[in-house]
Amino acid sequence: MVLNNWKIALMISTIVIIIWFTHFLNSGSERRFNEFKARGYSGVIKEIRRLQSHRGCPDILIRNEWIFLTLDEQVIFDQIHIGDSIVKQAGSDKITIFRMDSLSKIETLEFVSVLH
């Protein structure tokens, strides 16, 4: 089977575009993860809101400040409740949630970002 020059050029162009696009996605992911890791917050969750414009990522109100949870924090989306204490230290990819159970014992939940 003989390939024309234009078919070869098309195949090479497609491969180059795929490589560039993959690199573009990975560099954005790395930057986003570094931003997540650099930020810190702590406090008692006073309110949870889920805005449609945030595509399923909730905001939490702690210390009178709304914190937007990113995809790097998706491991806690279904785990957080109003009244939980939450700690995310700057420089760490770990999030810790403290919750009082029905026997007045403190339950500790630890989560690590799954995207990196």
pLDDT, greater one: 70 or 110: 110
Tokens at residue 66, please? 């709304």
The token duo for 2 is 């003989």
Classify burial at 104, counting beta carbons within 10 Å of its beta carbon; exposed 0-12, middle 13-18, buried 19 or more. Answer: exposed
Instruction: Check: pTM over 0.85? Answer yes or no.
Output: no
Would you say 45 and 96 are in contact if contact means Cβ atoms under 8 Å apart? no
Among 4-13, 59-68, 92-101, the range scoring the smallest mean pLDDT is 4-13
* pLDDT value at 27 more than 80: no
Give Cα 86 to chain centroid, integer Å.
16
pLDDT for 102 equals 85
